[in-house]
């Protein structure tokens, strides 16, 4: 089994190479088949690995046997994969959902001229993501980290002929890069203080040097390291302040949004914290900061999502918000809960995005919800899939996957050991309210009520390709029933998921110890769920019955102010532009105009000019006049003779 592990990342890599090199000649169908098949192979082996890990409880270690990859200054890093329980879950999510999205893309990208490139990039992305979650050292994780960032850029700007799409790709990459800078600094500090980049090595170092660890914690070094790593996570997982790329990333094709920006890439930050939980749990300050950032992001992006008109942008802000939830869970030490929410979110967010893609294709690339409406009769499968997705997202139906994971998070935050847990619970509930509101607003504007499309456009709308609808059905089933493996004890379940991750091999040592508090957890659950149902219903009524109440609210006074702020994303993009982008551009302009042109070019040109002048002077020696040459002879003679005389005088 251990020997087959390398096939998991290798298959999509081969798919990338084949599709990339000769895909243009192979034709649409073969390219799609190769793309899906390679991921399918990874998925099969991932399932086998999961089964093995679950049955034996032991991690599968695989070493590439290529010797050490980097060996310098006492730090030795080699290429190796380690499938423990956490990785097993992640590779299944990545390859499973990846496979479904590849199948969906066969239908979505039909007829596009760059379809071979698309599948090649998707495969490359899966390769990088798999490396990220399977690597046994931070450097491999970072390699995958950067790889997914690259593929994100390639795929967001896929329709590169439109300049704003290409700009969105650049924005994603650059904002990510800012986060990666912090990440790298964290890695450097780890090298300095622990001397190893292996996860097992790091954990072993911490176990063997308790006094040193205490020193590091006391002096704040661990806090700095974990904060730097978290900066990287904010970039990749779109938290405040580095989230601005994610809404713009909706410029890419919808399968890309589903795979990268809902299910897998943005969860890399959460995974990283889970992987390095032993580091993060050492520093209470960092955990508290993560909690603050996660909660703030969850609430903040929820408030933006309720006014957006583009169907994909609503879902984008929803992703940012849900990622905030995941970080909240990781912050209070409930790592398995965070991963559980990661998994369920992957299911229903992919479902939501793919349904949105189905709507977009069906309405011939119309993305503005203001122009839709009443599509439930024309797109039955899509409508039902999206409805299930929204239910899961808002978590208003008990035992649906989203409900279970979200409520677990809220409960852990409330009872958590971090200060002001109750306050953060309130923030979480408010974010849940907004979530319910915007998801059912989306349903109302898109599917219910009277249509705003023209009569003949409306009758052209029909369900798209079977590949797309089939995937929607599968994902809907997963969203409904996928959470059942994680039902907590208080609701009568065995919480297999939690025990899987914290059980025999102790992947996580969780920080939360308190579990039983009588009736309080149930009361909290009922409060949050009922509030969610209330607001969901409100949104459904407001936006489906053609009520002009939302418009009247946003026309004047406080309502107008709030609406403008929310609709324009609190002008954060503009603020960033002024503070960062303009200063850099102006600074560069100064550097260019003055330093480069005057000083550096001046120096180089000046040297050339100097040589030219000296050469011009020297040119005058060659006069072509016999007399001047004779003069040179005589001068030389005088020189030689005086030299001789000098020596004669000296010696006598």
Partner 1 sequence: MNFFTLESSIILGLILFAIGAYGVISRRNLLVVMMSLEIMFNAVNLILMAFTYFNFYEKGDQLGHYLVLLIITVAAAEAAVGLAILVTIFRNKKKIDTDDLSEMKG
Partner 2 sequence: MVDIIFLICAIFAVIFSVLVVLMKNPIYSSLFLVGSFLPIATIYILMYAPFVAVIQILVYAGAILVLFTFVIMMIDLKEKEFKIDKSNIYRFLAFGVVSIFLIIMLSYVGFKTFPDNKIQVSHAKISDYLDKKGKTFGSTKAVGELIFGKPDKNPIEANKKTMSSMQIVSFELASILIIVALVGALVLGKSRREKIK
The tokens describing 165, both together, are: 């799409």
**The binder of partner 2 chosen from 645, 647, 650, 651 (CB under 8 A):** 645
**The binder of partner 1 chosen from 590, 603, 610, 631 (CB under 8 A):** 631
The rounded distance, in Å, linking the Cα atoms of 477 and 481 is 6
* Residue 590's binding partner out of partner 1, partner 2, none, with CB under 5 to 8 Å set by partner kind: none
Site pattern 563..602 for partner 1 (x: CB under 8 A): ----------------------------------------
Indicate whether 643 belongs to the interface with partner 2 (CB under 8 A).
no
* Distance spanning both ends of the chain, measured CA to CA: 97
Residue pair 104/475 in contact (Cβ under 8 Å)? The answer is no
Indicate whether 70 belongs to the interface with partner 1 (CB under 8 A).
no
Q: How far is the CB of 631 from partner 2 (least distance, A)?
A: 6
Q: Which is nearer to partner 1, 160 or 643 (CB)?
A: 643
* Residue 22's binding partner out of partner 1, partner 2, none, with CB under 5 to 8 Å set by partner kind: none
Phi, psi of 508, deg, nearest 5: -120, 135
Give the range of 320-328, 439-447, 596-604, 634-642 binding partner 2 by CB under 8 A. 634-642
List residues bridging with 71 in a β-sheet.
76
Indicate whether 634 belongs to the interface with partner 2 (CB under 8 A).
yes
Q: How far is the CB of 604 from partner 1 (least distance, A)?
A: 27
The rounded distance, in Å, linking the Cα atoms of 570 and 430 is 18
Give the range of 181-189, 312-320, 481-489, 638-646 binding partner 2 by CB under 8 A. 638-646
Binding residues for partner 1, total number by CB under 8 A: 9
DSSP label of 599: I
Q: How many CB atoms are located within 10 Å of the residue 210 CB?
A: 9
* Residue 626's binding partner out of partner 1, partner 2, none, with CB under 5 to 8 Å set by partner kind: partner 1
Q: Which is nearer to partner 1, 454 or 632 (CB)?
A: 632
Q: How far is the CB of 627 from partner 1 (least distance, A)?
A: 5
Indicate whether 626 belongs to the interface with partner 1 (CB under 8 A).
yes
Residue pair 134/270 in contact (Cβ under 8 Å)? The answer is no
Helix axes 268-275, 85-108, angle to 10 degrees: 170
Q: Which is nearer to partner 2, 55 or 625 (CB)?
A: 625
Q: How far is the CB of 649 from partner 1 (least distance, A)?
A: 17
Phi, psi of 60, deg, nearest 5: -100, 125
Residue pair 175/235 in contact (Cβ under 8 Å)? The answer is yes
Indicate whether 423 belongs to the interface with partner 2 (CB under 8 A).
no
Q: Which is nearer to partner 2, 72 or 627 (CB)?
A: 627
Indicate whether 600 belongs to the interface with partner 2 (CB under 8 A).
no
Q: How far is the CB of 641 from partner 2 (least distance, A)?
A: 7
Q: Which is nearer to partner 2, 72 or 625 (CB)?
A: 625
Indicate whether 624 belongs to the interface with partner 1 (CB under 8 A).
yes
Phi, psi of 46, deg, nearest 5: -65, -40
The rounded distance, in Å, linking the Cα atoms of 75 and 189 is 13
Phi, psi of 399, deg, nearest 5: 70, 0
Q: How far is the CB of 640 from partner 2 (least distance, A)?
A: 11
Indicate whether 640 belongs to the interface with partner 2 (CB under 8 A).
no
The rounded distance, in Å, linking the Cα atoms of 424 and 295 is 7
The tokens describing 149, both together, are: 């960032």
Residue pair 1/60 in contact (Cβ under 8 Å)? The answer is yes
Q: How far is the CB of 633 from partner 1 (least distance, A)?
A: 8
The rounded distance, in Å, linking the Cα atoms of 16 and 122 is 8
The rounded distance, in Å, linking the Cα atoms of 256 and 108 is 11
Q: How far is the CB of 621 from partner 1 (least distance, A)?
A: 11
**The binder of partner 1 chosen from 561, 623, 640, 642 (CB under 8 A):** 623
**Helix or strand or coil: residue 60?**
strand
Q: Which of positions 604-633 make contact with partner 2 (CB under 8 A)?
A: 625, 627-628, 631
Indicate whether 635 belongs to the interface with partner 2 (CB under 8 A).
yes
Indicate whether 630 belongs to the interface with partner 1 (CB under 8 A).
yes
The tokens describing 1, both together, are: 């089994």
Indicate whether 515 belongs to the interface with partner 1 (CB under 8 A).
no
Q: How far is the CB of 617 from partner 2 (least distance, A)?
A: 17
Residue pair 321/258 in contact (Cβ under 8 Å)? The answer is no
The rounded distance, in Å, linking the Cα atoms of 534 and 528 is 10
* Residue 527's binding partner out of partner 2, partner 1, none, with CB under 5 to 8 Å set by partner kind: none
CA 459 to each of CA 44, 359, 379, 454: distance values in angstroms, whole numbers, following the listed order = 41, 14, 11, 9
Residue pair 315/352 in contact (Cβ under 8 Å)? The answer is yes
Q: Which residues contact partner 1 by CB under 8 A? A: 622-627, 630-631, 634
Residues that bind partner 2 (CB under 8 A): 625, 627-628, 631, 634-635, 637-638, 641-642, 645, 649
């Amino acid at each position: 089994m251990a020997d087959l592990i390398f096939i998991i990342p290798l298959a999509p890599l081969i798919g990338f190479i084949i599709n990339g090199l000769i895909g243009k000649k192979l034709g649409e169908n073969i390219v799609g088949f190769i793309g899906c098949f390679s991921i399918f192979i990874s998925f099969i082996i991932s399932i086998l690995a999961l089964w093995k890990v679950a049955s034996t409880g032991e991690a599968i270690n695989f070493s590439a046997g290529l010797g050490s990859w980097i060996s310098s200054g006492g730090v030795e890093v080699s290429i190796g994969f380690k499938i423990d329980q956490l990785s097993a879950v992640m590779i299944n999510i990545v390859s499973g959902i990846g496979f479904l999205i590849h199948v969906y893309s066969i239908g979505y990208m039909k007829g596009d001229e760059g379809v071979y490139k698309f599948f090649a990039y998707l495969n490359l992305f899966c390769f990088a993501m798999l490396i990220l979650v399977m690597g046994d050292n931070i450097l491999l994780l970072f390699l995958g980290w950067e790889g997914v960032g690259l593929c994100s850029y390639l795929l967001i700007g896929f329709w590169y002929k439109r300049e704003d799409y290409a700009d969105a790709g650049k924005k994603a990459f650059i904002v990510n890069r800012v986060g990666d800078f912090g990440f790298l600094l964290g890695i450097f500090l780890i090298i300095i203080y622990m001397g190893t980049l292996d996860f097992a090595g790091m954990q072993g170092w911490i176990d063997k040097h308790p006094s040193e660890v205490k020193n590091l914690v006391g002096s704040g070094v661990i806090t700095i390291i974990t904060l730097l790593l978290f900066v990287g996570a904010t970039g990749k997982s779109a938290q405040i302040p580095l989230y601005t790329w994610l809404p713009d990333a909706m410029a890419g094709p919808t399968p890309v949004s589903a795979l990268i920006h809902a299910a897998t890439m943005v969860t890399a930050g959460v995974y990283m914290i889970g992987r390095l939980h032993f580091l993060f749990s050492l520093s209470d300050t960092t955990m508290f900061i993560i909690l603050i950032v996660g909660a703030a992001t969850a609430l903040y992006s929820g408030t933006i999502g309720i006014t957006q008109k583009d169907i994909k942008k609503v879902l984008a802000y929803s992703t940012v918000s849900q990622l905030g939830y995941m970080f909240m869970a990781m912050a209070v030490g409930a790592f398995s809960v965070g991963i559980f929410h990661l998994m369920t979110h992957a299911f229903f967010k992919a479902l939501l995005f793919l349904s949105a893609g189905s709507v977009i294709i069906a309405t011939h690339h119309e993305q503005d919800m203001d122009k839709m409406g009443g599509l439930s009769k024309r797109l039955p499968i899509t409508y039902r899939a999206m409805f299930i997705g929204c239910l899961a997202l808002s978590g208003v139906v008990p035992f649906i996957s989203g409900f279970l994971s979200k409520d677990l998070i809220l409960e852990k935050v409330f009872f958590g050991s971090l200060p002001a847990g109750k306050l953060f619970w309130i923030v979480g509930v408010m974010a849940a309210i907004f979530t319910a509101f915007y998801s059912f607003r989306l349903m109302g504007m898109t599917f219910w009520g009277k249509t705003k499309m023209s009569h003949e456009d409306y009758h052209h709308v029909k369900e798209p390709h079977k590949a797309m609808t089939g995937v929607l059905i599968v994902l809907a089933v997963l969203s409904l029933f996928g959470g059942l493996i994680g039902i907590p004890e208080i609701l009568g379940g065995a919480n297999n998921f939690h025990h899987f991750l914290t059980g025999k091999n102790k992947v996580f040592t969780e920080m939360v110890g308190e579990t039983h508090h009588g009736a309080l957890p149930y009361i909290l659950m009922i409060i949050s769920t009922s509030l969610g149902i209330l607001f969901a219903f409100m949104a459904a009524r407001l936006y489906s019955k053609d009520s002009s109440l939302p418009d009247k609210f946003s026309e004047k006074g406080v309502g107008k102010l709030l609406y403008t702020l929310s609709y324009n994303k609190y002008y954060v993009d503009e603020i960033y532009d002024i503070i960062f982008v303009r200063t850099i551009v102006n600074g560069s302009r100064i550097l260019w105009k003055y330093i480069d042109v005057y000083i550096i070019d001046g120096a180089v040109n000046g040297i050339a000019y100097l040589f030219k002048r000296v050469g011009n002077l020297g040119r005058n020696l060659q006069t072509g006049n016999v007399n001047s040459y004779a003069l040179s002879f005589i001068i030389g003679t005088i020189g030689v003779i005086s030299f001789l005389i000098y020596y004669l005088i000296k010696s006598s």
